[in-house]
Amino acid sequence: MKAITAKRTLAGIAALGAAALVLAGCAADTAEEVVSGDTTVEEAPAADQLDFRACAVSDEASWNDNSFNEAVFDGLMQAESELGVQVSEAESQSAEDYPGNLQAMVDANCDVIFAVGFNLIDDVNIAAQAYPDISMVTVDGFVTGDSENLKPVVYRMVESSYLAGYLAAAYSTSKVVGTYGGLQIDAVTDFMTGFYFGAKAYETETGTAVTVLGWDPIAAEGQFWGSFAPNDATGKSIAAAQLEQGADVLFPVGGDQFGAGTEAIKEAGGTAVMIGVDKDIALTAPEYAEFILTSAEKRMGAATFDIIEDYALNGTFSAETYTGTLANGGTDISPFYEFDSLVSQEIKDRLAELKQGIIDGSIDPVS
């Protein structure tokens, strides 16, 4: 592992003891616990590990969010098990934890640090400037300065969400579909915009009017519950209101809202379904599978693993932006599972044509 010769403190970083932190080592026969202030650091080195440490910091939604944090964590764990790299991770409980958790990863001598989510953009950019010799990755973020050690990972979620919107309109009996988001930021509204235009493409092709509730991409106005908190009560109330307006397909964007959405659907007494986000929700959260038509996947786990693999095995790290698309498999819709028989072959074929059209540029998913 490369040596870090200076342990500078980031501007405004809270004391490490105040951060909500878990440093997890790879599997080993024994483990040591070191307590520093309120922080427990647990490390378990294995004799045959690679001399490479990959690290990640979550946002406040936690590693078990059925969403983007969990996807990155999955990629980290895959790298640990398949490549033999060492790993450390810090789970944030609030935004106040971000600077301290990033500093903790620096202090853990990480070779690469993933900062997960739009909310960590400012802090990871500060960290990248302060530690130019440490490679960092901002997932769903961007570079605000001239750092050559910070790699953005972004996704063209309008592409897979366009397919999800077309499917939603085709599946819907009422021809009313709804979407709503956690926060009005690009990482959220890209899903909603693709969904809107996909549903409207079905309307144009078939001549059947489709109403999309919750987001108008032209006016940039929509419904948001104001956080990424899982199963938020406000998100549930938005879902209930859209169901009352006739929506029978819901697309909640912003973490795990599927428990809240399930409750809203059951209380409405209907047969509405949802479309998952980020992960293959029917597969990874089977308790919701009977309500999940498909998911618009943001395959962060695959990108995380690929970046670690290239760096750990080949010594290659580039600050060039990684963009997940339908073409490179960074995003796509999930299988239909128990809904497969309810989606006609005609619609399946049309979705395949739309996907190819987006890939070859003949279809614009934002128009």
> Over the stretch 168-215, which tens digit does the pLDDT of each residue have?
999 999 999 999 999 999 999 999 999 999 999 999 999 999 999 999
**Residue 142 and residue 119: Cα distance in Å, rounded?**
11
Asked, for residue 3, whether it belongs to a domain, the answer is: no
Q: Count structural domains, the chain.
A: 2
Do 210 and 345 belong to one domain?
A: yes
Q: Is the pLDDT of residue 265 over 80?
A: yes
3-state helix, strand, coil in the chain (%, to 5): 40, 20, 40
Q: Is the pLDDT of residue 21 over 70?
A: no
Q: What is the average per-residue pLDDT within 350-363?
A: 98
- Residue 140 in 3-state DSSP? coil
- Split at pLDDT 50, 70, 90, the class of 48 is low
**Residue 350 and residue 225: Cα distance in Å, rounded?**
33
Q: Is the pLDDT of residue 34 over 80?
A: no
Asked, for residue 219, whether it belongs to a domain, the answer is: yes
Give the residue with greater pLDDT, 27 vs 164. Answer: 164
The 10 Å Cβ neighbour count of residue 328 is 14
Q: Is the pLDDT of residue 230 over 50?
A: yes
Say what the pLDDT of residue 26 is. Answer: 38
**Residue 291 and residue 299: Cα distance in Å, rounded?**
21
- Split at pLDDT 50, 70, 90, the class of 19 is very low
Do 346 and 197 belong to one domain?
A: yes
Asked, for residue 28, whether it belongs to a domain, the answer is: yes
Residues belonging to the chain = 367
The residues facing 211 across adjacent strands are 176
Give the residue with greater pLDDT, 48 vs 91. Answer: 91
Asked, for residue 4, whether it belongs to a domain, the answer is: no
The residues facing 251 across adjacent strands are 179
Asked, for residue 366, whether it belongs to a domain, the answer is: no
- Split at pLDDT 50, 70, 90, the class of 231 is confident
Dump pLDDT digits (tens) for 138-151.
999 999 988 999 99
The first and second tokens of residue 129, run together, are 């400037």
The residues facing 213 across adjacent strands are 178
Q: What is the average per-residue pLDDT within 19-28?
A: 39
The first and second tokens of residue 201, run together, are 């493409």
Locus of tokens 């409980």: 93
Dump pLDDT digits (tens) for 308-351.
999 999 999 999 999 999 999 999 999 999 999 999 999 999 99
Do 138 and 100 belong to one domain?
A: yes
- Split at pLDDT 50, 70, 90, the class of 228 is confident
Do 223 and 145 belong to one domain?
A: no
DSSP run (H or E) holding 236: helix 233-244
Q: Are 114 and 55 in contact (CB under 8 A)?
A: yes
Do 183 and 93 belong to one domain?
A: no
Q: Which residues contact 192 (CB under 8 A, 6 or more apart)?
A: 161, 179, 181, 214, 215, 217, 222, 251, 253
Do 151 and 178 belong to one domain?
A: no
The 10 Å Cβ neighbour count of residue 167 is 29
Per DSSP, 15 falls in state: P
Do 341 and 214 belong to one domain?
A: yes
Asked, for residue 315, whether it belongs to a domain, the answer is: yes
Asked, for residue 54, whether it belongs to a domain, the answer is: yes
- Residue 138 in 3-state DSSP? strand
Do 131 and 243 belong to one domain?
A: no
**Burial class of residue 159 in the structure, from the number of CB atoms within 10 Å of its CB (0-12 exposed, 13-18 middle, 19+ buried):** buried
Domain of residue 256, CATH code: 3.40.50.2300
Say what the pLDDT of residue 31 is. Answer: 37
Dump pLDDT digits (tens) for 62-88.
898 888 899 999 999 999 999 999 999
Do 95 and 222 belong to one domain?
A: no
Say what the pLDDT of residue 16 is. Answer: 37
Do 110 and 245 belong to one domain?
A: no
Q: Calculate Rg over the CA atoms of the chain.
A: 21
Q: Are 68 and 140 in contact (CB under 8 A)?
A: yes
**Residue 121 and residue 144: Cα distance in Å, rounded?**
8
Poorest-confidence range of 38-47, 280-289, 332-341?
A: 38-47
Q: Is the pLDDT of residue 28 over 80?
A: no
**Residue 235 and residue 258: Cα distance in Å, rounded?**
10
What one-letter code names the amino acid at 286? P
Say what the pLDDT of residue 133 is. Answer: 96
Asked, for residue 164, whether it belongs to a domain, the answer is: yes
Domain with 249, as residue range(s), is 157-298+336-360
Do 131 and 161 belong to one domain?
A: no
Q: Is the pLDDT of residue 218 over 90?
A: yes
Do 232 and 85 belong to one domain?
A: no
- Split at pLDDT 50, 70, 90, the class of 10 is very low
The rounded mean pLDDT for the chain is 88
